[in-house]
Structure 1
Amino acid sequence: MILRFITSLFFCGCLFSAAHGQIAKEINPGEPWPDNNGNHIQAHGGGIIKLGKTYYWYGEGRAKGLDTNYRYVGCYSSKDLMNWQFRGYVLKQGDPENLGPRWVMERPKVFYNKKTKKFVMYFHLDDKPYKLARVGIAVADKPDGPFNYVKSFRPLGMESRDIGQFIDDDGTPYLIFESRPSKGFYIAALSEDYMDVEKQVSFIQAPLEGGAIVHYQGLYYAIGSALTGWRPNANKFATATTLAGPWSEFTDIAPPETNTYSSQSTMLLKVEGKRSTTVIFMADQWKPSTQWDSRYLWMPVEIGEGKLWVPRPRPWSIDVKKGTWRFKL
């Protein structure tokens, strides 16, 4: 009887684990990344904010079976950056401005405004020919939404396609956006209510997109990807002592023949712990014909003294409390 009871408990436990996903002990770059329901995470082209001890990951929802009349933003939460709970599609957006079939909503990034207590989402908004080139804004009262569409505009009056976000150590929020006619990307400070772009901080004269920035040990590091659409390329980085520049020449972050291990940058996430600080290169491995299966390449970078390098991808784990990481043994 006791053996039967133990066997029953074990069977129930296996069913529970299968239904809710196994507890991940490492990050496996380029592999399917299941959420708490066992589904591959849908947060492509995404960004992360941290509130208290919880990280929130937002990105494009491209799962199979979604209504193609809408565009979706998925939200996930985690306390360890390895195990993610699906909080739902926090934005389900129909065509907001009569843009026509196959309109575009990409690279959502969310900022939290402590003064207004609002969550403000920026995203690239476009039509099929890629002529609109604007940012859209949606707002929510909670991190897991629902977000409601407010407006779109061209930041600084410039065309804007790929966008990135950067929150400096003092909490100041910045929008990074690529402007094709200018052949470079801008760093712009947000207004006090985060609902607009207030001023240009820097223009980096380099035809790059997928902009990402981190501040580490007194230097700003900016990463960008060449303009090759869905096809991966050799991402590069530059440094500056201030966001305003001047910025150094761009150099490779990985062996150029790997095309950044078939990925494109989306964010540099700084994890500050009690012992150390880890900077994570967050990137997407796009699969245009099976977008729902696009993968994520997250790797801790080798960084410091003006150097930044993405090691060869392999499984690794992170301790967010200590701020340390290690490769899987």
Structure 2
Amino acid sequence: MRHILLLLVCLLYAGLTPSVADNGPEPIRSGEIWPDNNGVHINAHGGGILYHKGRYYWYGENKCDTTSSAMVGIMCYSSDNLTDWKNEGVALPVTDDEGSDIVRGCVMERPKVIYNGRNRTFVMWFHLELKGKGYSAARAACAVSKSPTGPFRYVGSLRPNAGRLPFDMTDAQKAVLDTLRAENYAEWWTPQWYDAIEKGLFVKRDLPGGQMSRDMQLFVDDDGKAYHIYSSEDNLTLHIAELSDDYLSHTGRYVRLAPAGHNEAPAIFKKDGVYWLITSGCTGWAPNKARMFSAKSIWGPWTSHPSPCRGPKEEITFGGQGTYVLKIHGREDAFIFMADIWRPEKPSDARYIWLPIQFRDGVPFIEWMDSWTLDFFDRR
């Protein structure tokens, strides 16, 4: 009789468990192991998320145990609730063709995907470094697919805006640019060198072959125009560049943001007509203090703000580096700041930070939370 009662209790508990779980969304715990549907830690670092037809698609770098070079490619995971993630496989694989830009052992970083409704195409851009060349290539690479899960077809890579100066550069600034000579600034990091960088020394240097493009972001505005935001000029200056209507090339229109400011890891969002950009400094794999900028136009002028981070390790962005700001579908003014906790000694074990963006007097701030759920946005 006791065995029968025990069995009934177990069955009752099993029947109740799903309803308990259905009482609310699963918590998000930054810095912990995040298993996918196979129980394996999600491997999508430096990534971004696309919402399409009721589902979220998370794209990111597949990191191996011993190297940050691309040995697999760019991964895709999907979810309808942002906590349960299905491994959709490799969206853009590396190749064994030594003549290809994306041969195994190259560097593929910060992939972002946007959807072009005009031609119903998913467009991926990412930072590419050629195999065996260190970080000297500094190229932007593009791939396309008719499905959000891929496979994506590699299109090619380039340095953006070859032969083009920033469209907002005045005639007076162009006249100063003409006087800059690289041989006069052979010693880096001096006040005179920084001044020359701010005036466009490296823009002029890279003009014939195109501007350097490393850490990057994509942004589609309310009018459907898309923009490519990337660290340029040896990571000293951010560029904001307009993409063509098919999102596959650059129009030649771009501006510089925070010249000589040493910013990377750009993450952008828009609220109440104001563009907000969260970046990091340049300290390799080591975390540093986040920066923040705002503007009423994507082209600027941009205003600098203090770090938005609040709480333990706020001075080093909670131990991470930003990668994306996700706007939650169906919730007004709901944004998630996404960041990576890099672990270069074992890259595959890098962890994720996801925290809600809050606002005080219209200014964003990000407060550390050990655990939170999407219900947070309903309680504000």
Do 2:57 and 2:77's aligned partners in 1 also have CA atoms closer than 8 Å?
yes
User: 1:183: Cα distance to partner?
Assistant: 2.1
1:258 alignment partner in structure 2? 315
Is contact 1:134–1:159 with CA below 8 Å preserved after alignment?
Answer: yes
**What CA deviation, in whole Å up to 9, does each residue of 1:263-309 have, x standing for no partner?**
101111122535x3211111111000111110000000122545221
| 1:203 corresponding residue in structure 2 | 256
**1:129, distance to aligned residue in structure 2 (A):** 2.0
Matched AA of 1:234:
K
Partner of 2:345: 289
2:296 aligned partner: 241
State the shift of 1:199 in Å: 3.5
**How much identity, in percent, do the aligned residues show?**
39
User: 1:325: how far off?
Assistant: 5.2
- Letter aligned with residue 266 of structure 1: T
Distance 1:292 1:147, change over 3 A: same
- In the alignment, the residues of structure 1 paired with residue 102 and residue 223 of structure 2 have an alpha-carbon distance, to the nearest angstrom, of 38
Q: Please tell me whether Structure 1 or Structure 2 has the larger radius of gyration of its CA atoms.
A: 2
Whether the 8 Å CA contact 1:317–1:325 is kept in 2: the answer is: no
8 A contact 2:61–2:74 mirrored in 1: yes
Q: Does 1:316 align with 2:372?
A: yes
Matched residue, 2:204: none
CA distance in 2, matches of 1:62, 1:12: 37
Partner of 1:194: 247
Residue identity matched to 2:303: S
Partner of 2:145: 140
Report the counterpart of residue 226 of structure 1 in structure 2.
281
How far apart are 1:99 and its partner, in Å? 8.1
Which stretch shows the higher mean deviation, 135-144 or 2-11?
2-11
Task: State the match for 2:173 in structure 1.
Answer: none
- 2:271 is matched with which residue? 216
Q: How many residues align?
A: 313
- The 5-angstrom pairing of residues 1-329 of structure 1 reads 25-64=26-65, 70-94=71-95, 97=100, 102-127=105-130, 128-156=133-161, 157-181=210-234, 183-205=236-258, 206-254=261-309, 258-273=315-330, 276-303=332-359, 305-319=361-375, 324=377
Give the distance between the partners of 1:214 and 1:50, measured in 2 at CA: 15
Deviation of 1:138 (Å): 1.4
- Unpaired runs of 5+ residues, structure 1, are 14-22
* Aligned CA distance change for structure 1 residues 268 and 98 (closer, same or farther; 3 Å): closer
CA distance in 2, matches of 1:304, 1:149: 43
CA contact (8 A) 1:31 1:296 kept: yes
Deviation at 1:240, TM superposition (A): 0.8
In structure 2, give the amino acid aligned to 1:126.
Answer: E
Cα deviation, 1:17-50, whole Å, max 9, x if unaligned, reads: xxxxxx9711101111111111111110001111
Letter in 1 for 2:126: F
Which stretch shifts more, 178-187 or 206-215?
178-187
Cα distance, 1:10–1:306 mapped onto 2, change above 3 Å: closer
Q: Is the 8 A contact 2:127 2:138 kept in 1?
A: yes
Give deviations 1:166-222, integer Å, cap 9, x for gaps. 122333221111003472111112111111122334321232000111111121101
Q: TM-score, length-normalised on structure 2?
A: 0.74
Letter in structure 2 aligned against 1:105 = M
Segment drifting more, 219-228 vs 196-205: 196-205
Change (3 A) 1:80 1:69: closer
Q: Which structure shows the bigger proportion of residues in strand conformation?
A: 1
Matched to 1:116, the amino acid is: N
Q: Which residue identity does 1:311 align to in structure 2? A: E
Q: CA deviation at 1:5?
A: 7.6
Distance 1:82 1:309, change over 3 A: same
- Counterpart in the other structure of 2:184: none
Contact 1:237 1:250 in 2 (8 A): yes
Letter in structure 2 aligned against 1:133: A
The unaligned stretches of length 5 or more in structure 2 are 16-23, 162-209
CA distance in 2, matches of 1:40, 1:178: 29
Structure 1 pair 80–100 and aligned structure 2 pair: CA distance change class (3 A) = closer
